[in-house]
Amino acid sequence: MNKYDNILRVNAEAKTTKIKNKEYIPVNERVKAYRKLYPEGEIRTKIVELKDGFILMEATVYDENGKLLSNGYAYERENNGYINKTSYIENCETSAVGRALGFLGIGIDDSIASAEEVKNAQVQQENLKQNETLESTQWGGKCKEDNIGSLKRNLNRVFGDDEAAKRKYYAQFGVINASDLTYEKWRVIMLDIEDKPDYVPKEESEKEEVEKLPFDDIMNE
């Protein structure tokens, strides 16, 4: 029996994991299959780059005589998914080993990716979707009542009951009514107003007659 036939044999013996109706062989099963083929072989891993929560690793696979059979690379980011919060280096190493064995023909059918890689990719895609949704909600969506309330309290602190001054200040940020107030604009306004001094009431004789348009009306339009 030649090497290729042996690889087919150990692949058939390996346990699979189904992901979206497709069977994948996890890395631990690939390692078992490799040990059946090369009991005295060696798998080496090394960190190629580790910086700012990013890691790139290489795995190399050798036979009993030290002959290089294949290698593979993988990268991970810290905090990208639940596992990576504490074990992104180990997770990266596992992926690199799985890919190296995959390039050797172990544990593959239609894909080099192992079950772990596929699951991790799905987690990353889901995180990306959630982040995009969160970003869209935070910076492009409309403010909630709590945000509006905190803004109104700060405006009252700075401008008191001077509704005209509030409208003038608000207009600087392109906000004329409630529909204009996005999370992004709310954040910019809050950063600008937090350092402004508290309102000091004018004497009655110094007050100008202005049309009373309650600030609440703006937010309730």
What does the pLDDT look like over 180-205, one tens digit per residue?
A: 777 777 778 887 887 788 877 765 54
Q: Which amino acid is residue 190, in one-letter code?
A: M
For the chain, domain boundaries: 3-117, 145-220
140 pLDDT above the threshold of 50: no
69 pLDDT above the threshold of 90: yes
Q: Which amino acid is residue 61, in one-letter code?
A: V
89 sits in which H/E element: helix 84-103
Exposed/middle/buried for residue 82 (C-beta within 10 Å: 0-12, 13-18, 19+): exposed
Distance (Å, rounded) from C-alpha 99 to C-alpha 27? 9
161 pLDDT above the threshold of 70: yes
From residue 159, give the alpha-carbon distance in Å to each of 189, 197, 219.
Answer: 14, 9, 16
pTM: 0.51
135 pLDDT above the threshold of 60: no
What pLDDT, on a 0 to 100 scale, did the predictor assign at position 143? 61
64 pLDDT above the threshold of 50: yes
Say which residues have a Cβ less than 8 Å from residue 147's Cβ, sequence separation at least 6: 183, 186
93 sits in which H/E element: helix 84-103
153 pLDDT above the threshold of 80: yes
What pLDDT, on a 0 to 100 scale, did the predictor assign at position 213? 45
58, HSE (Cβ side, Cα atoms, 13 Å): 6
Backbone phi, psi, residue 9, to 5°: -65, -50
